[in-house]
Amino acid sequence: MVANLQEPISSFRAMRREDLEAISRIELSAYPFPWTFGIFRDCLAAGYECWVLERSAEIIGYGVLSVAGGEAHILNLCVAPAEQGRGHGRRVLSRMLDLARWHRAERVFLEVRPSNTTAIALYDSAGFNEIGKRPNYYPGPRGREDAIVMAMELLAPGHETWPPSLGR
């Protein structure tokens, strides 16, 4: 008999208030200057697109997207440190881009720390381009750190209807 060595299937669902404790734990483990529970709560209350990636009922990643005036902004994208390097970040990013397209956004923006070279490589490979910097944007261990501002044009046709995989 051959054992099934495949990783259990992960899936997306909308973030819920009861997820915020688990999300806060991931955020604390992933970043030296994490978002607070209250920031996530406020994003949910504001109606932002807040989604989690879970496997076996455990949250392993999440993303937060705001959309207004034809533009989308990825506010947070995170994968639990123990789950990084397995393509989950790319899946969360793809979900955020699909949501932006569904909302008919023409472009997507995000900020990233220059020190987060793994995230920068992911965004570059997905088609984002550096368009500027925000001086002193992030708190850092020795003062403030600039943010790299990246953007991507969403010109792909065929996303006029909700993708069935998004579950709406």
Residue 48, number of CB atoms within 10 A of its CB:
20
Active-site residues: which are they? 111, 123
| DSSP secondary structure, the chain, as one string | -----PPPPEEEEE--GGGHHHHHHHHHHH-SSPPPHHHHHHHHHHT-EEEEEEETTEEEEEEEEEEETTEEEEEEEEE-GGGTTSSHHHHHHHHHHHHHHHTT-SEEEEEE-TT-HHHHHHHHHHT-EEEEEEEEEEEETTEEEEEEEEEEE---SS-SS--GGG--
116 a known binding residue?
yes
> What type of residue is 11?
S
Q: Which residues are annotated as a binding site?
A: 116
Q: Which residues are annotated as a binding site for acetyl-CoA?
A: 116
